[in-house]
Amino acid sequence: MAEVSNNQNRHNAMQTQGHSLNKSLPEIRKNGHKSRPVILRMEKVCKYYGSHTVLDDVTLNIRKGDIFALLGGSGAGKSTLLKILAGFEQPSSGRVYLDDEDITSLPPFKRPINMMFQSYALFPHMTVEKNIAFGLKQDKLPAKEIKSRVEELLGLVHMEKYAKRKPHQLSGGQQQRVALARSLAKRPKILLLDEPMGALDKQLRSKMRLEVVDIIEKVGVTCLMVTHDQEEAMTMADHIGIMHHGCVIQQGTPIDIYEAPNSLITARFIGSVNIFEGNITSQAADHVVIESNPLPTKIYIGHGITAALESTKVWVAVRPEKIELTKEKPIAEYNWAQGIVDDIAYLGAHSVYHVKLPNGMIVLCNVANTARSAERPTWEDPVYIHWEPNVNMVLNS
Amino acid sequence: MNTSSSTEKKIKSRLKGTGYFALAGIPAVWFLLFFLIPFIIVLKISFSEADFSIPPYTPLTQYAEHILNITLNFTNYLSLLSDNIYLYAFISSIKLALFSTVLCFLIGYPVAWAISCTRQSLHGLLIMLIMLPSWTSFLIRIYAWMNLLSVNGLLNSFLMKIGIIKEPLIILNTNYAVYIGIIYCYLPYMILPVYNSLRSIPHTLTEAAKDLGARPAKAFFKITLPLSKRGIFAGAFLVFIPVIGEVMIPQLLGGSQTLMIGNVLWQTFFNSNDWPMAAALAIMMLIILMVPIRLFNRMKATEELIRE
């Protein structure tokens, strides 16, 4: 019970952080994540091209109504995974289930899954209207029904005025809306988005992110997106899977992934992070003490480690915004070090200080620009960095 | 479309003044020297009368007793209309060109499509193989076909040896041989533009069509085929226009029933030594070809040929 409510809290917290602009959340999203049925299940999916492993034993459960983002660098295998779901590629082994039905060998044109392609793949010789109607025509729906459905979709994406235009007469954002409408036309059980913002310029991206999420939520479709842009994943999705070398190495809400990464790869992939390599010197049920070379003091972790450790060697990750920068020496016994300001990146609301420790290691530290600039440390100033024992994360891989 | 017109403007503004005219002048001079002037000469000859002199036609203008006499002779054009043989030759040329174009399309399109479906690294090799035969002399290839198709030729002896036929097939010196020769020679002109337009279609478009529920065949007819329309037109005109005036292939492979306007022209010029009639025929042929050439430009098929 406790776990469920905790999860719900997280989920709600994520909602406020991720896309607070949405007021019209469908009923399904208000329910806890765990209470929703799994709609898409990938079981031990592998894909090899010759001796090259692209997907390595991927098991993934996606719940109804989720917006799930697969996040990973190029070559992580996320596009292949999407192709397998769309039916363009067959997995070398493993099964894919949709609503408990095995769809692994179903051809793409028989799957109730539609995709919004990265470059949209709008049919250049058809008008906006005909592009959207294409899928419906394949189902041999009566013309009247197609017409009303197309109008409904044009309204949904605010493109009524452009029904008769050809794709090349539209802007990038408009093309994306048409592509989204086309992929939603057949009311798919799963909507796949391949790098949804990849073809847009930066300014349009943040606007379209919210707009696309808004439309997806209005429709209530389960959505799996693939992206290499962590900001995109964090703002659009309510669950994220981190992909690396063909494996999904961590799944969770954006907050889970950011606050509690389970490996160095995840910690480094999402946001920026300071990593201290060290050895465990003492370990108790409620705390761990770690000795790390660059730091004059020991690192105190405010919680015990449950995982079995093969060696005492661990890494401690601390986010830059969790580190406090002071001119005075901290009174604490643990978790601090002295250094000099090597560089300052002024970002408006906050600045990122690059603090050089005596052994040369650079520690990043975010400082909110609330105080007046004269009172803030400047280049070459000797400073102290310090963090609370409950904000750092211990990683053993 | 926007980008092409804007680059055009850019090029124009950069070449403003003498440079622009010099550059535009080169094709203009070429056109004048090698098309317009010869055309006017041919036009002039077509209005004169055959004569036993050198050159073998009567002059169009005569200057006698301070009076300039211009004699325009329309009999050549009139006999073009009255003599059935010319009409028949025109019709059979157009028919042959039309059928050859359709056959080239039916054979060439699948070939182009197959090439575009292979690995990118193979494209160059396959296209080179398509073009390879045209690196040999055209005449030698036609002579080779004569050998292959003749009564005692390779094809007949092969078919008789494996026992499919008992009597040799008569192919050479029939219209079949003409079709074989024309399709053989003109097929690359269909394959290349079609391949070029197919290659420019992103494969995600057919994937999208399948994703939206279209079976592969449907995706082909709804997406691939309409998007390669320009390549098909370009190929069709590249086959149709030269085949109308084709001389050598009907001459060498065709028989007595093969009557084509190019051959009629050839005979009129070289055998009958009737230059004015031949000139009138040439002018007529040009007028007939204006129709497909106009269409060709209207379809912007040239864009398909010059596109990278």
What does the alpha-carbon distance between residue B259 and residue B85 come to, in Å, rounded to a whole number?
9
Nearest chain A residue to B223, by CA: A123
CB B207 to CB A108 under 8 A?
Answer: yes
Q: What string of DSSP letters covers B161-215?
A: HTTS-SSPP--TTSHHHHHHHHHHHHHHHHHHHHHHHHHTS-HHHHHHHHHTT--
Query: Rounded mean pLDDT of B131-141?
Result: 90
Contacts of B3 in chain A (CB under 8 A): none
Give pLDDT, residue A377.
84
- Which residue from A119, A125, A138 is facing B214, i.e. has the nearest CB? A138
Q: 3-class SS at A318? A: strand
Helix axes B75-82, B84-117, angle to 10 degrees: 80
Q: Is B202 on the interface with A (CB under 8 A)?
A: yes
- Whether A108 sits inside 8 A of B222 (CB atoms) is no
SS3 A246: coil
Query: Is the minimum CB–CB distance between B217 and chain A shorter than 8 Å?
Result: no
Each residue of A9-43: pLDDT tens digit?
434 433 333 333 333 334 444 445 667 899 999 99
A390 touches chain B (CB under 8 A): no
Q: What distance in Å separates residue B207's CA from the closest CA in chain A?
A: 8
Q: Average pLDDT of B244-265? A: 89
Name the residue of chain B whose CA is nearest to A187's CA: B212
pLDDT score, position A12: 40
Of B210, B213, B223, the CB nearest to A123: B223
Nearest residue of A to residue B1, measured between CA atoms: A168
Nearest residue to A303 (alpha-carbon basis) of A293, A321, A290: A290
DSSP string, B3-16: HHHHHHHHHHHHTT
* Contact across the interface for B211 and A168, Cβ inside 8 Å: no
Put simply, the answer to whether A109 touches B202 (Cβ < 8 Å) is no
Interchain contact, A138 vs B218, CB within 8 Å: yes
pLDDT, position B199 = 93
A199–chain B Cβ distance below 8 A for any pair: no
Residues 90-149 in B contacting A (C-alpha not used; CB under 8 Å):
none
pLDDT (0 to 100) of residue A33: 62
- pLDDT tens, position by position, for chain A (397 residues)? 333 334 444 344 333 333 333 333 344 444 456 678 999 999 999 999 988 999 999 999 999 999 999 999 888 889 999 999 999 999 999 999 999 999 999 999 999 999 999 999 999 999 999 999 999 999 999 999 999 999 999 999 999 999 999 999 999 999 999 999 999 999 999 999 999 998 888 888 888 899 999 999 999 999 999 999 888 999 999 999 999 999 999 999 998 888 888 888 888 888 888 888 888 888 777 788 888 877 777 888 877 776 666 677 888 888 888 888 888 888 887 888 889 899 999 888 888 999 998 888 889 999 888 877 667 888 888 899 988 887 777 787 6
Find all residues with CB under 8 Å of A264, minimum gap 6, and list them: A275, A315, A317, A395, A397
Residue B16: is its pLDDT beyond 70?
Answer: no
* Rounded-to-integer distance, Cα A301 and Cα A286, Å: 9
Kindly tell me if the per-residue pLDDT of B300 is higher than 70: no
As for the ipTM of the complex, it is 0.78
Comparison of pLDDT for B71 and A109, the residue scoring more = A109
Structure-model confidence comparison of residues B136 and B59, the more confident one:
B136
Rounded Cα–Cα distance for residues B4 and A4 (Å): 60
Distance from CA of B204 to the nearest CA of A (A): 6
Residue ranges of B 1-20 with Cβ closer than 8 A to chain A: 1
Residue-wise DSSP of A94-131 = EEEEETTEE-TT--GGGSSEEEE-TT----TTS-HHHH
pLDDT in tens, A299-330: 888 777 766 666 778 888 888 888 888 888 88
Residues of B in contact with A109 (CB under 8 A): 210-216
